Amino acid sequence: MNRFIFIYKLLIPNLDIMKIKLVIIFSLLIFPYITKSQERIENINTKELNDAIEMLGVDIFKFSFDSIENDYGLKLYLEEITKDSVITRVVKNFGQWKNGSKHKKLKIISNTKKDSVAAIKLLHPNMEIMTKFDIKSIYRNAHYWKPIKQNGLNYDEKTPLIFYGMSWEDEYEGKKIRRFCWGDEITRKMDNENLDKIEHMILISYKLVKPSSKTCRQKDMNRTRLPAWQAGINADLFIKVNNPLKFSFTNHSK
């Protein structure tokens, strides 16, 4: 102790003996907790970190679109659904990933600790968007996220990706409980029988779309004025040959 007092006296000459003793005792008391805390942080694994984040009401999901064709862009739909009715719909067009991008990802981060508000952040290389849903009081029971099974990318049609659904009431050994269990996987057809028990959900879907060129083609077609009879024939021929809606779709989901 005397050695420590001597060192502190050299470092801080104006500090009296009693204060020096208090500083030394306090340092000795908290040192084990500091080292223990450092040891605890160093030994944390990924699962423990995820558990801690979950306790804060934060969920993080990543979806890969690496195999997307270069001329397609991403459109997202966020829909608040009560039973069979859509009460809120948000549509965001993120456009195309850059052709040189090695990893084409979509990240979804949500903060839903309080079941009254669901804050959902969508992260794409082109933009980041935050959307909030104020959940009505009658639906403020426990909600959980459930990813939907994907079999490859689905092109040119709206495809369910993930949803945030309310648990449903059930009974077990005479006690009322809430469940959020499925048995079978939930596929993009959304035909799992337990989905009928969910009274409230926020469904996120995607659609892969090509930029429309219909407007440009229509302008080109109207540049030359022809006699009425000839214009009718040419316009009909132009639509049959060049109508951008008349290409065949390939099913990429198999």
pLDDT higher than 70, residue 207:
yes
Count how many domains the chain has: 2
Domain limits for position 116: 63-209
Q: Which residue has the higher pLDDT, 220 or 23?
A: 23
Residue 156 lies in a domain: yes
Q: Which residue has the higher pLDDT, 251 or 134?
A: 134
State the average pLDDT over residues 216-237.
Answer: 41
| 127 and 170 part of one domain | yes
pLDDT higher than 50, residue 246:
no
| 118 and 151 part of one domain | yes
211-249 in b/e burial notation, b at 16+ Cβ within 10 A? eeeeeeeeeeeeeeeeeeeeeeeeeeeeeeeeeeeeeee
pLDDT computed for residue 86 by the predictor: 95
Local confidence band at 115 (pLDDT 50, 70, 90 cut-offs): low
| 109 and 169 part of one domain | yes
pLDDT computed for residue 8 by the predictor: 43
| 166 and 115 part of one domain | yes
pTM (predicted TM-score): 0.66
| 30 and 106 part of one domain | no
Residue 167 lies in a domain: yes
pLDDT computed for residue 57 by the predictor: 86
State the average pLDDT over residues 9-32.
Answer: 52
pLDDT higher than 90, residue 13:
no
pLDDT computed for residue 114 by the predictor: 66
Closest by alpha carbon to 108, among 155, 149, 146? 146
| 124 and 8 part of one domain | no
Residue 143 lies in a domain: yes
Q: What is the mean pLDDT of the chain?
A: 75
